[in-house]
Structure formats: C-alpha cells, structure tokens
Amino acid sequence: MNRKRGFTLIEMAVVLLIIGILAGIVLRNVGSQGVVARDSKRLADINLIHNYAVQYLQAKGVFPPSTVDSWTELVTDITGAGIVDKLPTDPGGNAYDYFSCVTTGVTPAVGVPASHYIVQSTLEQTSTKAPALYKEAMTAMPTGFECYKTGTKLDTTSFGTNCTAANKFCSLQ
C-alpha cells in the first residue's frame, strides 16, 4: 500500500471557505473606515473654517458677511484678506454652507457686519449611527440674531432641513 500524503478536496474546500469568510469580515470593516475618515475630515474642516473666520474678525473687526453666494463670498473674503490661500473642500464633493448672522431686525446687506455665522456640512453617517460626531452640532435655532444664506433668511423649516436633519451638521460661532 503506497499512499501519497496530502490534503483531500474536502479539506481544501473547508480552508478556502474559512479564508473567504474572514476576508469578507475584514473588507466590511475596512470599507466603513473611509466613511468615518471623511466625516472626521469634515468636522476638522469646520473647525479650521472657524479659525479662519476668527482671524478675519481680528483683521477686519467683523465676521465675513454673505449676501449673494454665501460659500463663494466666504472664500473670496477670507482668501482676499490674506488669511489663507484656499479654504478646505469637502472630501466627498459636497459643498459646505455658510450662513452669516446679524442682530435680529437688521437686514443683511453689503457692509452690514455679521455678528455670528453658521457653517454647515452634510455627513455620511447619521446622528443615530454616529452620535459622538454630532455632539457639537446645533440643535436649536439661534436666538437674538437672524442668519442668512444667499440672501434668504434661515427660518424654522430651513433650519430643520439644513441643520437638524439626520445627516446634517451645523456649527455656530
């Protein structure tokens, strides 16, 4: 009886099945890390935008106003003031939004200083799936001032759409 030693076909199939299951688990976990990384970058970008706006405030005495295209104006104002050459961009291609805020009753216009502002981002994770990311997000309309984006007042409905929807993040300064 001269038998060759080796693996049977069944043993090889079992090993390949186990490797396939493990590879699927690893790929599933690694794939979700891209979403976490992009959302983390968005929050870091918002903090960076806050820093640039504060530098603008120190240089000009007011926060950047917005009357036409809020994000384009913010970029123009901050880069034009020599604070930075380029504002951060969303890693997923979505646009960040900027709302300039004035004291209640003041109509926003060119030259009217913004007393506060809101920066908004759309995250890929929802507040129910990643509550830790949303802990600094605005949850209520600001009081004592009115906020505008592209000349339109942020009312309760638009605030809900822009800031409290499940995947929206707004930060007030």
> Per residue in 2-27, is it b (16+ CB within 10 Å) or e — as a string?
eeeeeeeeeeeeeeeeeeeeeeeeee
Domain extents in the chain: 9-172
CA angle, 65 then 70 then 71, to 5°? 115
Match 């880069």 to its residue by tokens: 79
Paired tokens of 88 = 């951060």
pTM assigned to the model? 0.71
**Alpha-carbon distance 22 to 37, whole Å?**
23
Task: Please give the torsion angle defined by the CA atoms of residues 103, 156, 140 and 137, in that order, rounded to the nearest 10 degrees.
Answer: -100
Per-residue pLDDT of the chain (173 residues; tens, 9 = 90+): 666 777 788 888 999 999 999 988 887 766 667 888 888 898 888 888 888 888 888 887 777 766 655 677 777 888 888 888 888 888 887 778 888 887 777 665 555 667 788 888 888 888 878 788 888 888 888 788 888 777 777 888 888 888 888 888 888 88
Alpha helix locations (H) across the chain? 9-60, 70-80, 156-159
For the record, the structure tokens of 59 come out as 């240089």
